[in-house]
Structure 1
Amino acid sequence: MNYAHTITLSLPYEEAVTNVRQELANQGFGVLTEIDVHATFETKLGSENAQALGDYLILGACNPALAEQALTADPDMGLLLPCNVVIRRHPSATTTTVQTINPQTMVQLSTSPAIQDIADQADAHLLAALSALENLNIHK
Structure 2
Amino acid sequence: MTYTINRMISDAGIDEVDARTREALADHGFGVLTEIDVKATMKKKLDVEMPAYRILGACNPKMAFQAIGIEPRVGAMLPCNVILRELDNGVEVSAIDPVASMQAIENSELTSVAGEVRDMLAKAVDAI
Q: Normalised by the size of structure 2, how large is the TM-score?
A: 0.94
CA distance in 1 between partners of 2:28 and 2:84 (Å): 17
Structure 1 gaps, min length 5: 134-140
Q: Contact (CA 8 Å) 2:33, 2:58: kept in 1 or not?
A: yes
- Please state how far the C-alpha of 1:120 moved relative to its aligned partner: 1.2
1:67 pairs with 53, 64, 68, which one? 64
Whether the 8 Å CA contact 1:106–1:115 is kept in 2: the answer is no
* In 1, Cα distance between equivalents of 2:51 and 2:126: 25
Alignment-derived partner of residue 26 in structure 1: 27
Percent pairwise identity: 38
Which has the larger share of helix? 1
In the alignment, structure 1 residue 5 sits paired with structure 2 residue 2: no
Aligned equivalent of 1:36: 37
RMSD: 1.1
Answer whether contact 2:8 2:93 (CA < 8 A) is retained: yes
d(CA) in 1 for partners of 2:117 and 2:78? 11
SS of equivalent to 1:109: coil
Aligned twin of 1:138: none
User: Which of 104, 109, 113 matches 1:118?
Assistant: 113
Q: Which runs of 4+ in 1 moved over 3 A?
A: none
C-alpha spacing 1:94/1:106, structure 2 compared with 1 (3 Å): closer
Distance 1:132 1:37 in 2: 24
Aligned amino acid, residue 15 of structure 2: E
What SS class does the counterpart of residue 31 from structure 1 fall into? strand
Which of structures 1 and 2 has the bigger CA Rg? 1
Structure 2, gaps ≥5 residues long: none
Give the secondary-structure state (helix, strand or coil) at the position aligned to 1:2. Answer: coil
Following TM superposition, by how much is the alpha carbon of 1:107 offset from its aligned partner in structure 2, in angstroms?
Answer: 3.8
Instruction: Give CA-to-partner distance per residue, 1:35-61, whole Å, 9 cap, x none.
Output: 000110111011xx22xx210100000
Query: Match of 1:17?
Result: 18
- After superposition, the C-alpha distances for 1:66-101 in whole angstroms (9 at most, x for unaligned) are 0001111111211110000000104xx131000000
Quick one: which amino acid aligns to residue 42 of structure 1?
K
Give me the whole-angstrom Cα distance separating, in 2, the residues matched to 1:107 and 1:31.
20
| Alignment partner of 1:101 is 2:96 | yes
